[in-house]
Structure 1
Amino acid sequence: SPKLANIVDQISTLTLLEAADLVDALKSRLNIVDVALPAASAAPAAAAPAAAAADEPAAPKEKTVFNVNLTKIDAAQKAKAIREVKALMPGMNLVEAKKFVESLPKTLKEGATKDEAEKLQGLFKAIGAEVALD
């Protein structure tokens, strides 16, 4: 309807702060109560053990999640690196894999387990590439 279209047009011109104020005003006018989301309620519960652990001497924990970054490729092994990148990322076509390899450093995989990260590192080192884990 034209009335709704006009309202949408007006709202779309608001800044982020004005939109937040609008949401607060609508909640107040319509008596809408905020509902806690399950994910939001888990955060304070997780903070309590962390605070308790802070009192104890901190034992360094072994890192379990890694980002695998391809940093450098031997020019003679570029074709092999492109094939490996394409195989690792199924949604990527050959042209995209070539652009990926030519614009290093790039992240090969985020959130990899230690085993996955070491496997990828070994695979790319075998073809003359440098891989960094962080």
Structure 2
Amino acid sequence: MATEKTTQILDAIKELTIIELADLVKAVEEEFGVSAAAPVAVAGAAAAGAPAAEEKTEFDVVLKSFGAKKLDVIKAVREITGLGLKEAKDLVEGAPKNVKEGASKEDAEEIKKKLEEAGAEVELK
């Protein structure tokens, strides 16, 4: 059951624009030291004597640096993520940052190729 204070906060949030919501999320992350990123399941310890050499199926694409062609990298990030210009610029300038999380190996390789063609230094984790 929502209290009156909670209802007021929700009503105020409903009035915000997308950019204002993004700023709010960023401020909450910084204030409380949390992340709004989807939680990633952590695999348990391997059974005793069992080989732990399972092939990784999900990859994070990490933008390490944007190199000399920052504008081209921003364009590539916008194309890959669907972010707006300001959000893509902030992501690129904040490198190292995750561009895509939990991507399949094929998707991650394709994204890495696009970003490297644009002049970025990229790493798959």
Could you tell me which residue of structure 2 aligns to residue 84 of structure 1? 76
| Alpha-carbon contact 2:65-2:95 (below 8 Å) kept | yes
Give per-residue Cα distances to partners, 1:82-114, cap 9 Å, x unaligned.
Answer: 111111122x21122112111111100110011
Matched residues in 1 for 2:61 and 2:79: separation?
A: 15
Q: Percent identity?
A: 41
| Structure 1 length-normalised TM | 0.56
Q: Which amino acid aligns with 1:81?
A: V
CA RMSD of aligned residues (A): 2.5
Looking at structure 2, the residues matched to 66 and 56 of structure 1 have their Cα atoms a distance apart, in angstroms, of: 26
Kept in 1, the 8 Å contact 2:62–2:124? The answer is yes
4+ aligned runs moved over 6 Å, structure 1: none
Counterpart of 2:89 in structure 1: which amino acid? K
Offset of residue 55 of structure 1:
4.3
Contact 2:65 2:122 in 1 (8 A): yes
- State the Cα distance separating 1:66 from its structure 2 match: 0.7
Aligned twin of 2:117: 126
Determine the C-alpha separation between the residues in 2 that align with 1:131 and 1:125. 7
- Cα displacement (A) at 1:56: 4.6
Q: Structure 2 length as normaliser, TM-score?
A: 0.59
Tell me, in whole angstroms, the C-alpha distance in 2 between the residues paired with 1:101 and 1:83: 10
Residues 1:65 and 2:58 aligned together: yes
**Cα distance change on mapping 1:56 and 1:124 into 2, 3 Å:** same
Structure 1 CA distance for aligned equivalents of residues 120 and 51 of structure 2: 36
Post-superposition shift, 1:62?
Answer: 1.0
Report which of the two has the higher share of helix. 1
Q: Supply the distance in 2 between the matched residues of 1:86 and 1:99 (Cα, whole angstroms).
A: 11
**Counterpart contact for 2:77–2:115, Cα < 8 Å:** no
Query: Per-residue deviation at 1:80?
Result: 0.8
Matched, 1:114 2:82: no
